[in-house]
Amino acid sequence: MSERNPIPLILTAIGSVVGTVAVLTYYGYVHIAKPEDALLLADYTMLKTVPGEDYRVSLKPASQVAQCIDGVLVLFDTEQKGLTGVLVDNKKRAVRCMEEQVPAGLLR
pTM to 2 decimals?
Answer: 0.49
Looking at residue 108, what is its pLDDT? Answer: 45
pLDDT value at residue 24: 94
- For residue 78, how many C-alpha atoms fall within 13 Å in the half-sphere facing its CB? 7
More confident residue, 22 or 57: 22
Q: What is the pLDDT of residues 23-70, one digit of tens each?
A: 999 998 887 777 666 666 667 777 788 888 887 888 888 888 888 988
Greatest mean pLDDT among 3-17, 48-62, 65-79, 89-103 lies in 3-17
